[in-house]
Structure 1
């Protein structure tokens, strides 16, 4: 399997309409756009990719198309579902098809489950996977309502030390990410926040898996390149942070799909309900902000 690290897109999923099917034919061109933008890898079917809004069959087919068009990038798959049985089935499918890692959010339908319940959920998943699998934890409590705490991580490393590979911290809390990096050197820790890319790289993270990399890959890669080449990290991060501030966190996929109209040559694509398309005036304001940021 490929080495995992660097700048990774939390990639979008195209739909023909807000109630229509996945536009599978759109994906190959999108993969080339991201590769040409300098990304090391992609994460499909995550939060930005509207994975939980899709059926298991749709998610499997998207993964197949992504893997067939990965080029020089590695592929991670978001496989977390509310039901353990579906998480197991989708994770096994991803591993069997050759995904380089699976990223699994905790079960999000039951709010405030016990730490023991979450721990045993992940242990049951781990027991179902081949020993060579690479399983990553997905900490995004503001969306799932379920945090992945150190006692859960400690328990998983005790029972399945070779299977748990890393963690994506999308909490937006740098103190939490720094704690994870220091406490778990055996794990690859990734930030999920565009605002924290430079802090994560300087602090020893394995990389960044971010939403803006899905439509502005060059801007996230600019922070990475500046960090590794001794360039203007602060300036590159400031531009990325300012742009992130112009994107509504409650409707990020819609904003990024609107942005692709002027960052790529891809055809227009839709979000799926309950998300709604970005209004024309909001899309124009985002475009203007982008032009000001990259021009300045």
Structure 2
């Protein structure tokens, strides 16, 4: 049994709700995460507010993360609504040393055909070095564009060596089971912390979690118990409870508030349209977490 991989869907710190990215904070967070024993980070994804960042801002974040990665692996979040932006960001990240790119579907036009989505991903692959590796990002609750089996099969047919894996943030174990049966060679990273134990039983490679920004040891405990035959359910119950406590507050603002409370990080902001927690909300969240 292979050791499950633990990745962090890392937050992006801003100096103010309409301010710049705080690159010094990112470096400090990377060192903290590395000390906590995570395998890697995913900058500029959903939790990293990637769609609130310009192409230039994302490139600058990739530079900071890749320069200060230490022993961490890096999956760069590069998906955009415009194919040209996705190509530019993905090429930039790969050429500067990212291990893979996590690529969200183009999300503005809904009810896309498989041919349209497959064409988008094939055009991306054609524009990249042959050594590039892509992780498809299945997150229909946000994008409303699912990664269908036909799209995966089509990419395996045309660009088999570039399909590294898939992040499943759909919250549907039936979808994950289907992937494992139809594409056993596909690396599947679960995105829902509450489903980690079940996903590992289904054969998931590991996970990419927002919760790992603050609670990497709790996430790792589920993986360790799964690997050793330990008490998986107790470890999973704790993770599920933590996830439920954060949910009403919204992930990026809540995670940033907790890092200030728990790990003495400087207070940092999310970017509009997300709204930071008030002091009263942060105190209530921290009290709820302590109670667990």
With normalisation by structure 2, the TM-score equals 0.96
Q: Deviations over 1:220-251 (max 9, x none)?
A: 11111222223221111100001111122672
Distance in 1, Cα, partners of 2:12 & 2:170: 22
- Match for residue 96 of structure 1? 95
Contact (CA 8 Å) 2:249, 2:277: kept in 1 or not? no
- Match for residue 246 of structure 1? 245
User: After superposition, where does 1:11-160 map in structure 2 within 5 Å?
Assistant: 11-160=10-159
Q: Which runs of 4+ in 1 moved over 6 A?
A: none
User: After superposition, where does 1:126-275 map in structure 2 within 5 Å?
Assistant: 126-248=125-247, 251-275=250-274
Distance in 2, Cα, partners of 1:249 & 1:72: 34
Contact (CA 8 Å) 2:8, 2:210: kept in 1 or not? yes
Calculate the aligned-residue CA RMSD, in Å.
1.5
Contact (CA 8 Å) 2:134, 2:165: kept in 1 or not? yes
Contact (CA 8 Å) 1:216, 1:263: kept in 2 or not? no
Contact (CA 8 Å) 1:4, 1:74: kept in 2 or not? no
Distance in 1, Cα, partners of 2:4 & 2:135: 13
1:4 Cα deviation after fit: 10
Distance 1:94 1:249, change over 3 A: farther
Distance in 2, Cα, partners of 1:5 & 1:107: 29
1:285 Cα deviation after fit: 2.3
Of 222-231 and 98-107, more deviation after overlay is shown by 222-231
SS of equivalent to 2:250: helix
- Report whether the alignment pairs 1:280 with 2:275: no
Distance in 2, Cα, partners of 1:232 & 1:192: 22
Distance in 2, Cα, partners of 1:28 & 1:177: 34
With normalisation by structure 1, the TM-score equals 0.95
Contact (CA 8 Å) 2:6, 2:220: kept in 1 or not? yes
Aligned residues: 291
Q: Which runs of 5+ in 2 are unaligned?
A: none
Distance 1:76 1:50, change over 3 A: same
Distance in 2, Cα, partners of 1:163 & 1:192: 21
Distance in 2, Cα, partners of 1:181 & 1:254: 34
Distance in 1, Cα, partners of 2:134 & 2:269: 30
Contact (CA 8 Å) 2:43, 2:75: kept in 1 or not? yes
Distance 1:5 1:91, change over 3 A: farther
Distance in 2, Cα, partners of 1:62 & 1:206: 26
SS of equivalent to 1:237: helix
